[in-house]
Chain A
Amino acid sequence: MTSTLIGLLFGLLAGLAIALAALFGVWWERKVSGRIQLRFGPQQAGPAGLFQTLADTVKLVLKEDVTPAAADRTIFKWAPLLVFTPVALSLLAVPFATGFAPLDTGVGMLLFLAVPSVSVLGVLLGGWASANTYGTLGGMRGAAQMVSYEVPRTLSVLSLVVVAGSMRPTIVMGAWRWWWLPLFAAGFLIYLISSIAEMNRGPFDLPEAESELVAGYFADYTGIRWAIFMMSEYGAMLAASTFGAAVFLGGTNGLPGALGVIVLLLKAVAITTVVIWVKWTFPRFRQDQLMAFAWKVLTPLALLQLLVAGIVAIWL
């Protein structure tokens, strides 16, 4: 009984956190991209356009929820949640404060890496169920891409586990020392790149490539269901950047309570900014280049990083 309640409470909190992250994330992205593109970004709604996303959300919620006539209705309607839920669940394993994670288990690292992969199903099914050629192509691309980038991403996090000697994220965060920065520089870069690919953001946004596939797997989605896909993207960005900040960049630096959380979040915002910066600077990869990059560059590099981590772990 109590565990159900705790579960519900967490679900609510995770949903809220992702909604807030999406609200802030969209605004931040529009501001940063505006500056990159010789513009100002949103200015009118609220101070510095802060309420712009809120207004957009209201618009999206009020929009008609259209299901295409040819679509597989049940799958079409549930696919957005199949993308969103795993992303929300992955927040369970993120150490948000010193010695605290919502679900502090001994396999937290694995949980964080494995659970969001289920999103692939949602992307694939959503694209397929739309009965739209662009949607199908986008879903297929998404599946191939997300499965491929899982490998270097897992390997890069694994090298941390080897040195820290634990799969519990709070312990890994606690074990962080400054020399992890040079040691895991390559690993962090691999983690960052493959995380961007995992969340389908530019330059890896092939599944939704606007200029080719219109909007890819969510081309036929409207209103709130479309918004759920968007929110999953920003949720994944929140999860990936806080987790990255926690385990690669020292997280809370052992600072207690709220101070530690603030330090962690600042680092996460910095990572998010880099992710946005990359998206608005680079063109998009092509499918074959994308796969070649994952298997021929990132995976060998991640294996090398794991080897180095192993040697260091013996020497420790």
Chain B
Amino acid sequence: MTIEIESRRSVTDEAGRGVDELVVNIGPSHPSTHGVCRVIAHLDGEVVVKAEPVIGYLHRGIEKMAENRTYLQVVPLTDRLDYVGSMYANWAYCRAVERLADIRVPERAEYIRVIVCELQRIASHMMGVGASGADTGAFTAFVYAFDIRERIVELFELLCGARLTYNYVRPGGVSADLPDGWIEACRAVVRAAPARLRELDDLFFGNYIAAGRMRGIGVLSAEDAVAWGATGPVARGSGVPFDLRKDDPYSVYPRLDFDVPVGESGDAFDRGRVKLFESIESCRIIEQALDQIEAGPVKASGLPRLIRPRPGDAYDHIESARGSLGVYLVSDGSPRPYRMKVRSPAFCNLQLLGRLAVGHTVSDLVVILGSLDPVFGEVDR
């Protein structure tokens, strides 16, 4: 691909008038590219004529690195995929390993996984909603969202000592049982969260200017969402009620009662608000899981130190905060995966940027990018 530098070019529009097109490189170092994304934006005045995301600035070759590590050693690598939602990548990978090596996970471990992943969903969505706030200039909304996120990160710190890369979910279970008093601490956080989330909803989505900035911006139709493989809040914002927790139930989700909020218009506003409502639903799920969880082992018994699955392949996916996150593993019978492939929802959602941004202004481009909520650790891998 050719690299374009900032330039002014004369082109003609449909009516044959001469238009000065301005090519702006937004990123890779820019306050609102959510990591290291670069968008080559062709502008006519302030209107985007063409927007092209350039990815790869955070490529570390995680899928290749996995081929040289044992199955257990890959778990810390998956932490670095979606670094605002590490628990998901851990879990998706572990599910693929468990399917490959026929490992049965104890029930308590499944409940713990559901609890931490729903907490992670709230934490991740708060990052997304907060970033949308920062993108539109509502920095206070960002801080409020991060206040909610911080409570959850503190819970994770109690759980595994880490605040960002948890390495908590392991093949066969989780790394350690819940510490004493954790369930009470978690219950307190989850009880307080819905009120804080509704407050954030009033503060940000209830604001006249914020609604004006996000309504009708970057509209994605339900057909396009399906055709382009959009999943997670991006698809649900367009009214596609696709959620793997309901559509391909895994773990203990069938025993839990929850709703899947969907948007109507498919614009940036609905994509953002869906995340907020999902967070409230997650609180419901966690409360039920905390009630149902029983004592027991948190690791599969008889698990060998070195997992050597039979030769073959396995794919498993879970509903991460960004959509359906899948991990495909191929084994040749050795203790290391022969091949690992990650189906990254952030990558699939990001490709919509070029379609959604055309015709909107630079200000909207930033809002649209924020509403797609990509995390570049997972996009670039």
- Whether A287 contacts B361 by the Cβ 8 Å rule is yes
Given that A36-B140, A211-B31, A287-B46 are contacting pairs, would A133 and B133 also be in contact in the complex, using a CB cutoff of 8 Å?
no
Of A178-186, A230-238, A276-284, which binds chain B? A276-284
- Whether B212 contacts A38 by the Cβ 8 Å rule is no
Within the complex, what minimum Cβ distance (angstroms) separates A220 from chain B? 13
- Whether B143 contacts A283 by the Cβ 8 Å rule is no
Which residues on B sit within 8 Å (CB–CB) of A296? none
- Separation of A285 and B363 alpha carbons in the complex (Å): 9
Across the interface, name the chain B residue whose C-beta is closest to A215. Answer: B31
- Separation of A284 and B133 alpha carbons in the complex (Å): 10
Within the complex, what minimum Cβ distance (angstroms) separates A70 from chain B? 11
Q: How large is the interface on B (under 10, 10 to 19, 20 to 34, 35 or more residues)?
A: 20 to 34
- Whether B139 contacts A289 by the Cβ 8 Å rule is no
- Whether B46 contacts A137 by the Cβ 8 Å rule is yes
Q: List which B363-381 residues lie within 8 A (CB) of chain A.
A: 363-364, 366
Pick the contact of B6: A133, A202, A287, A288 (CB < 8 A): A133
Which residues on A sit within 8 Å (CB–CB) of B140? 33, 36-37, 280-281
Given that A137-B46, A283-B133 are contacting pairs, would A210 and B144 also be in contact in the complex, using a CB cutoff of 8 Å?
no
Given that A39-B143, A133-B6, A285-B209 are contacting pairs, would A214 and B136 also be in contact in the complex, using a CB cutoff of 8 Å?
no
Given that A37-B143, A211-B32, A211-B136 are contacting pairs, would A284 and B213 also be in contact in the complex, using a CB cutoff of 8 Å?
yes
Q: List which B96-128 residues lie within 8 A (CB) of chain A.
A: none
- Whether B137 contacts A287 by the Cβ 8 Å rule is no
- Whether B143 contacts A214 by the Cβ 8 Å rule is no
- Separation of A219 and B212 alpha carbons in the complex (Å): 27
- Please tell me if B362 contacts chain A, counting CB pairs below 8 Å: yes
Interface of B is mostly: helix
- Please tell me if A29 contacts chain B, counting CB pairs below 8 Å: no
- Please tell me if B307 contacts chain A, counting CB pairs below 8 Å: no
- Please tell me if B63 contacts chain A, counting CB pairs below 8 Å: no
- Please tell me if B22 contacts chain A, counting CB pairs below 8 Å: yes
- Please tell me if A286 contacts chain B, counting CB pairs below 8 Å: yes
- Please tell me if B210 contacts chain A, counting CB pairs below 8 Å: yes
The number of chain A residues with a CB under 8 A from chain B is: 28
- Whether A287 contacts B31 by the Cβ 8 Å rule is no
Which residues on B sit within 8 Å (CB–CB) of A213? 362
Within the complex, what minimum Cβ distance (angstroms) separates A2 from chain B? 49
Q: List which B31-54 residues lie within 8 A (CB) of chain A.
A: 31-32, 46
Pick the contact of B209: A133, A134, A282, A287 (CB < 8 A): A282
- Please tell me if B30 contacts chain A, counting CB pairs below 8 Å: yes
Q: List which B190-213 residues lie within 8 A (CB) of chain A.
A: 203-204, 207, 209-210, 212-213
Given that A133-B6, A211-B136 are contacting pairs, would A284 and B24 also be in contact in the complex, using a CB cutoff of 8 Å?
no
Q: List which A133-190 residues lie within 8 A (CB) of chain B.
A: 133-134, 137
- Separation of A303 and B22 alpha carbons in the complex (Å): 39
Which residues on A sit within 8 Å (CB–CB) of B134? 211
Interface string of B3-19 (1 = CB under 8 A from A): 00010000000000000
- Whether B213 contacts A283 by the Cβ 8 Å rule is yes
- Separation of A288 and B136 alpha carbons in the complex (Å): 15
Pick the contact of A214: B31, B204, B209 (CB < 8 A): B31
Q: List which A81-100 residues lie within 8 A (CB) of chain B.
A: none
- Please tell me if B147 contacts chain A, counting CB pairs below 8 Å: yes
- Whether B31 contacts A286 by the Cβ 8 Å rule is no
Within the complex, what minimum Cβ distance (angstroms) separates B99 from chain A? 42
- Please tell me if A56 contacts chain B, counting CB pairs below 8 Å: no
- Separation of A34 and B203 alpha carbons in the complex (Å): 16
- Whether B46 contacts A283 by the Cβ 8 Å rule is no
Which residues on A sit within 8 Å (CB–CB) of B22? 133
- Whether A38 contacts B144 by the Cβ 8 Å rule is yes
Across the interface, name the chain B residue whose C-beta is closest to A34. Answer: B143
- Please tell me if A203 contacts chain B, counting CB pairs below 8 Å: yes
- Separation of A38 and B188 alpha carbons in the complex (Å): 20
Across the interface, name the chain B residue whose C-beta is closest to A141. Answer: B46
Which residues on A sit within 8 Å (CB–CB) of B316? none
Which residues on A sit within 8 Å (CB–CB) of B136? 211, 283-284
- Separation of A210 and B212 alpha carbons in the complex (Å): 19
- Whether B32 contacts A283 by the Cβ 8 Å rule is no
Across the interface, name the chain A residue whose C-beta is closest to B147. Answer: A38
Within the complex, what minimum Cβ distance (angstroms) separates B129 from chain A? 12
- Please tell me if B135 contacts chain A, counting CB pairs below 8 Å: yes
- Whether B137 contacts A137 by the Cβ 8 Å rule is no
Report 14 cross-chain contacts, Cβ distance below 8 Å, ordered by A residue.
Answer: A33-B140, A37-B140, A37-B143, A203-B209, A205-B137, A206-B363, A209-B363, A211-B366, A280-B140, A281-B140, A282-B137, A282-B207, A283-B133, A284-B137
Identify 8 new A-B residue pairs, CB closer than 8 A, beyond the known A282-B138, A286-B361.
A33-B140, A37-B140, A39-B143, A137-B46, A213-B362, A283-B133, A286-B363, A287-B363
Shortest Cβ-Cβ A-B pairs, 4 listed: A284-B137, A283-B138, A283-B136, A211-B32
